[in-house]
Amino acid sequence: MKLIRIQLLVLFSAVLMFNCGGKEEKKKEVFSYEKTNSQAENVSNSDDANVANVVITGNDLMQFSTKEIKVKTGQKVRLTLRHVGKLDANIMGHNFVLLKNGVDLVTFATAAAIERDNKYLPKDSQDIIAHTDLIGGGQVTTIEFDAPEPGTYEFLCSFPGHYAMMRGNFIVE
């Protein structure tokens, strides 16, 4: 129920901001949960509660739009990564990689950085819970996976050097 209230609050805030000066676009780039259906009255639909719609953006300044994502265990996570920059994937590629507990992020990122032919992911890696494709400016990619057991996991962009800024916590409650 707490999640649903947050969704409503975010929606309401967005509407308020839009009415007050058209800053809705900026607001939307900030990480947010989005409902499966666009109508607010469907918020209590039990199907929606089982799906955490996560939207995260990456830009040409090597930044994710959030450093923290929260979902609930048992939920299906529908995660959309949107590259809001203009640079090509060869120069400023972004992906979203969620690491298993206990995996050292720097060690993983260092191993990933040399895997250019494999889109900067170690081949047959056992360290990953889920990952998106590597995308460039203007591109969007969506993945679905089951939220793992409760805990705090780390995510990063595994493009060489990006992990220094593009990383955060994926919290499963």
| Sites of contact with Zn ion (CB under 5 A) | 94, 157, 159, 162
Smaller CB separation from Zn ion, 11 or 89: 89
Tokens at 101, concatenated: 């507990």
Smaller CB separation from Zn ion, 4 or 62: 62
Greatest Cα pair distance in the chain: 50
CA proximity to 72, closest of 153, 5, 147? 147
Smaller CB separation from Zn ion, 24 or 60: 60
Helix (H, G, I), strand (E, B) or coil at 78: strand
Q: How far is the CB of 148 from Zn ion (least distance, A)?
A: 23
Q: How far is the CB of 129 from Zn ion (least distance, A)?
A: 18
Smaller CB separation from Zn ion, 137 or 148: 137
Q: How far is the CB of 89 from Zn ion (least distance, A)?
A: 9
Burial grade of 100 (CB within 10 A; 0-12, 13-18, 19 or more): middle
Find tokens 């120069």 and name the residue.
91
Smaller CB separation from Zn ion, 58 or 148: 58
d(CA 134, CA 4) in angstroms, rounded, equals 31
Residue of closest CB approach to Zn ion: 157
d(CA 41, CA 150) in angstroms, rounded, equals 29
Q: How far is the CB of 51 from Zn ion (least distance, A)?
A: 26
Q: How far is the CB of 70 from Zn ion (least distance, A)?
A: 22
